[in-house]
């Protein structure tokens, strides 16, 4: 194939240059998305009156609508830009992300979504604390919700800063901070005005845009190879300079025994993380019944599965039509491989087709980030208002109005915190932060969710040990891992306090979270609350008395 | 069991009617509910163990069976890609199997228990 050699030499800076040539087009598309979504937000805000409207969108969405919104909430910058980039750079090893992110949905479908919908009301903490002493467990659930969401938010903000500034050709620090601040302000507006209803519609629009944009690029790449996948893979392999190894596992994780363990650790975190992500779990409250929640997950599995299948073409396609040196020159982590592939497949740098496709894909990436940060902000502010403010600080005596007001103020506070952190973290590794959020969710949240629903001897002590133990161990292990120090790619490359060799803590912290919940329950003197368990179990399986 | 604060359920005016604690305890102990619980667990638990095992097997094969994964199947499509796509296929299949099981075996039982309890509230 000659495709690999038709690149203009200036493609190294293609994203930046292509963008600056056609910056008006990109800005117009960005602005169109912002205006449309703000319009939706204001419209949704007018219909948001009760606490149930704000937290759960009035529980009036259909299974399909919510499935679309779940997909929009789940497919983040890490999915879209990160996976395509990882495959483009490391070949097959990048594909594990797609598989783990998808298979993970079965845990949600078989064990979590329906019981959660039946027994909870607004937050993950509703289910975690159901059988337990309310104040300590809600405090723990709120803490872990906010920690997981902030890590996830940080990744999206850092991604937004890097990506948008690159595409708009903004290179100054002040410009990048301005972009992060803009994203932060938009997400505060979406959530405070539109609540769950507005956020859900923004996520649905984004999901449609993301699928349509990805389909278009996938189709064009396949067309270039006459729909011959084998040919596409072969070209990617030879063009990568790695040969057949590019199509085999091991290029990134196969080097040493430790890196292989890291691969297992990442694999476990991915597959067990999803069902513990608060911003995903609260989406199931937006439908009226458990049956509709099941339908949402099925739609989500279909949509997300189709999307991840396309990441194969996107990633290997980028490797086939771009030079690996160009991908790395544009972004070390490969995060711009998908936009670069769009530019190239549309006719290359300087062509109108390329510029239009680049603008479309950039706008899709921007929409992706905005919809996900809105979902994350809503999850953490809901948990603060409902779990910590209403049930811990006000001991269940707050009125609905006071609760929603607290949620809106919490949104503003979390928005400001993430703008500040995002501005500081704009040079950090995005994929590492997302995998960390998955590992923390699987270690701190999933054990307590599963024990609460299915194990009658589970106690408050067990829940607290599991949540705090899983949270502390996963965060501390990352702090002392190569993600933070010791390597050139670390957050602090010049110091070395990394005594934990793995980049992902899941291999240790997830079993620890399960173990602590079990030991804590067996060692505590308190008896499990049998009456409350009867209530939770009957509710979770039948939906009697569900809100 | 003492709780520090009343749970939110049942405290909001206008929420759905809530059966009493006694009704929940009696229902949990009933053979009807035991049947529903068994129908859910005997399907969901083994299937969860199966797909997690199958997924871990795939991860381990990637790590420690490089030669096998590199085997060419058709053209440049190797075993690793085929098994990766098989993970997609089994995910779709299990989602479909579970949904069919839930619709035929779980929903009718859950619905019967729910309407009986609602009638007693």
Residue A456's pLDDT is what?
94
Q: What is the DSSP letter of A389?
A: I
Percent of chain A with pLDDT over 70: 94
| Least Cα separation, residue A14 to chain B (angstroms) | 30
Mean pLDDT for A336-362 is: 88
The C-alpha atoms of residue A443 and residue A276 are separated, in whole angstroms, by 9
| DSSP per-residue codes, A16-39 | HHHHHHTHHHHHHHHHHHHHHHHH
Mean pLDDT for A276-294 is: 97
Q: Is B9 on the interface with A (CB under 8 A)?
A: yes
Q: Averaging pLDDT over each range in A10-24, A154-168, A276-290, which range is the top one?
A: A276-290
Is pLDDT above 50 for A1? Answer: no
Is pLDDT above 80 for A260? Answer: yes
Residue A21's pLDDT is what?
64
Out of A233, A527, A534, closest to residue B28 by CB: A534
Fold for domain A3-426?
Answer: Sodium/glucose cotransporter (1.20.1730)
SS3 (DSSP) at B77 = strand
pTM to 2 decimal places: 0.92
Give the closest residue to A435 by CA, choosing from A379, A366, A504.
A504
Q: Could you tell me the CA-to-CA distances from A421 to A138, A161, B1 in Å, in that order?
A: 25, 12, 42
Is residue B105 situated within a structural domain? yes
Residue A504's pLDDT is what?
92
Is residue B81 situated within a structural domain? yes
Count of C-beta atoms within a 10 Å radius of residue A306: 16
Q: Which pLDDT band holds residue A468 (cuts at 50, 70, 90)?
A: very high
Residue A431's pLDDT is what?
65
Is residue B18 situated within a structural domain? no
Q: Do A534 and B19 touch (CB under 8 A)?
A: no
Out of A267, A534, A537, closest to residue B59 by CB: A267
Residue A335's pLDDT is what?
80
Phi, psi of A224 (to 5 degrees): -60, -30
Q: Please write the tens of the pLDDT for every residue from A69-123.
A: 999 999 987 788 888 988 999 999 999 889 999 999 999 999 999 999 999 999 9
Residue B12's pLDDT is what?
46
Using an 8 Å CB-CB cutoff, list chain B residues near A110: 44, 47-48, 94, 98
Is residue B113 situated within a structural domain? yes
Q: Do A541 and B110 touch (CB under 8 A)?
A: yes
Phi, psi of A395 (to 5 degrees): 50, 40
The C-alpha atoms of residue A343 and residue A30 are separated, in whole angstroms, by 17
Low-confidence ranges of chain B (pLDDT < 50): 1-13
Q: Do A106 and B59 touch (CB under 8 A)?
A: no
Q: Do B12 and A400 touch (CB under 8 A)?
A: yes
In chain B, which among 38-77 make CB contacts under 8 A with chain A? Answer: 40-41, 44, 47-48, 51-52, 55-56, 58-60, 62-64, 66, 69-70, 74-77
Is residue B114 situated within a structural domain? yes
Instruction: Judge whether A430 and A159 are in contact, CB under 8 Å.
Output: yes
Q: Is B115 on the interface with A (CB under 8 A)?
A: no
Is residue B2 situated within a structural domain? no
| DSSP per-residue codes, A186-252 | HHHHHHHHHHHHHHHHHHHHHHHHHHHHHHHHHHHHHHHTTT-HHHHHHHHHHHHTSGGGGGSTTTT
Residue A4's pLDDT is what?
35
Is residue B79 situated within a structural domain? yes
Instruction: Judge whether A34 and A186 are in contact, CB under 8 Å.
Output: yes
Across A39-66, b (16+ Cβ under 10 Å) vs e yields: ebbeebbeebeebbbbbbbbbebebbbb
Q: Domain range holding B40?
A: 33-120
Domain count, chain B: 1
Q: Do A99 and B69 touch (CB under 8 A)?
A: no
Instruction: Judge whether A54 and A199 are in contact, CB under 8 Å.
Output: no
Residue A9's pLDDT is what?
35
Among A21-35, A290-304, A388-402, A436-450, name the one with the lowest average pLDDT: A21-35
The single residue listed with the structure tokens 């095992």 is: B53
Q: Is B82 on the interface with A (CB under 8 A)?
A: no
Q: What is the crossing angle of helices A290-321 and B79-101, to 10°? A: 170
Mean pLDDT for A299-304 is: 98
As a three-state string, the secondary structure of A331-352 is: CCCCCCHHHHHHHHHCCCCCCH
Q: Do A301 and B91 touch (CB under 8 A)?
A: yes
Q: Is B13 on the interface with A (CB under 8 A)?
A: no
Q: What is the crossing angle of helices A352-383 and A134-167, to 10°? A: 160
Is residue B54 situated within a structural domain? yes
**What residues does B77 pair with on adjacent strands?**
B74
Q: What angle do CA B15, B21, B24 make, to 5 degrees?
A: 90
Hey, where are the domains in chain A?
Answer: 3-426
Q: Do B98 and A263 touch (CB under 8 A)?
A: no
Is pLDDT above 70 for A10? Answer: no
Handedness of CA A228, A312, A308, B61 (dihedral sign): positive
Share the mean pLDDT of chain A.
Answer: 90
């Amino acid at each position: 194939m000659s495709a690999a050699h038709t690149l203009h030499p200036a493609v190294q800076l293609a994203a930046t240059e292509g963008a600056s040539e056609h910056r008006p087009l990109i800005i117009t598309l960005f602005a169109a998305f912002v205006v449309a979504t703000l319009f939706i937000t204001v419209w949704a805000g007018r219909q948001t009156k009760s606490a149930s409207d704000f937290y759960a969108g009035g529980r009036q969405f259909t299974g399909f609508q919510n499935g679309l919104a779940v997909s929009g909430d789940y497919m983040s910058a890490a999915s879209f830009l990160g996976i395509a980039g990882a495959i483009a750079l490391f070949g097959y090893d990048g594909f594990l992300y797609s598989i783990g992110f998808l298979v993970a949905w079965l845990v949600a479908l078989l064990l979590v979504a329906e019981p959660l919908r039946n027994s909870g009301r607004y937050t993950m903490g509703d289910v975690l604390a159901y059988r337990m002493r309310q104040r300590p467990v809600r405090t723990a659930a709120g803490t872990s919700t906010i920690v997981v969401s902030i890590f996830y938010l940080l990744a999206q903000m850092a991604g937004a800063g890097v990506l948008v500034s690159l595409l708009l050709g903004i290179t100054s620090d002040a410009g990048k901070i301005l972009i992060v601040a803009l994203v932060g302000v938009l997400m505060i507006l979406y959530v405070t005005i539109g609540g769950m209803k507005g956020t859900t519609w923004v996520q649905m629009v984004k999901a449609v845009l993301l699928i349509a944009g990805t389909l278009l690029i996938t189709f064009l790449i396949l067309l270039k190879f006459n729909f011959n996948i084998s040919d596409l893979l072969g070209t990617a392999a030879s063009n990568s300079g790695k040969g057949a190894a590019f199509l085999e596992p091991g290029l990134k994780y196969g080097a040493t025994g430790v890196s292989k363990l890291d691969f297992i650790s990442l694999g476990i975190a991915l597959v067990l993380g999803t069902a513990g992500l608060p911003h995903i779990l609260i989406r199931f409250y937006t439908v009226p019944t458990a049956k509709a929640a099941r339908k949402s997950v099925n739609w989500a599995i279909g949509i997300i599965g189709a999307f991840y299948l396309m990441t194969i073409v996107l990633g290997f396609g980028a490797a086939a039509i771009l030079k690996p040196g160009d991908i790395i020159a544009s972004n070390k982590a490969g995060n711009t491989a998908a936009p670069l592939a769009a530019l190239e497949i549309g006719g290359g740098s300087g062509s109108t087709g390329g510029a239009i496709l680049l603008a479309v894909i950039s706008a899709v990436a921007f929409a992706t980030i905005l919809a996900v940060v809105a979902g994350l902000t809503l999850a953490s502010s809901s948990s603060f208002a409902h779990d910590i403010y209403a049930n811990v600080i006000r001991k269940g005596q707050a009125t609905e109005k006071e609760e929603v007001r607290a949620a809106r103020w919490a949104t503003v506070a979390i928005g400001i915190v993430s703008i500040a952190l995002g501005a500081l973290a704009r040079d950090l590794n995005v994929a590492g932060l997302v995998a960390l959020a998955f590992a923390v969710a699987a270690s701190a949240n999933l054990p307590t969710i599963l024990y609460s629903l299915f194990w009658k001897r589970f106690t408050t002590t067990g829940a607290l040990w599991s949540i705090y133990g899983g949270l502390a161990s996963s965060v501390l292990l990352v702090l002392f891992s190569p993600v933070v120090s010791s390597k050139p790619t670390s957050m602090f490359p010049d110091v070395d306090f990394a005594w934990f060799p793995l980049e992902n803590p899941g291999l240790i912290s997830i079993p620890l979270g399960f173990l602590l919940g079990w030991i804590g329950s067996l060692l505590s003197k308190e008896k499990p609350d049998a009456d409350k368990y009867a209530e939770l179990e009957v509710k979770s399986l039948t939906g009697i008395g569900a809100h | 069991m003492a709780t520090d604060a009343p749970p939110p359920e049942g405290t909001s005016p206008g929420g759905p009617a809530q059966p009493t604690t006694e009704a929940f305890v009696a229902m949990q102990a009933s053979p009807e509910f035991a049947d529903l619980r068994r129908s859910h667990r005997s399907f969901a638990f083994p299937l969860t163990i199966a797909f997690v095992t199958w997924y871990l097997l795939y991860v381990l094969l990637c790590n420690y069976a490089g030669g096998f994964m590199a085997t060419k199947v058709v053209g440049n499509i190797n075993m690793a890609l085929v098994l990766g796509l098989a993970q997609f296929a089994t995910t779709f299949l299990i989602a479909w199997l579970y949904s069919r099981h839930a619709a035929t075996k779980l929903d009718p039982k859950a619905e019967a228990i729910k309407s009986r309890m609602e009638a007693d509230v």
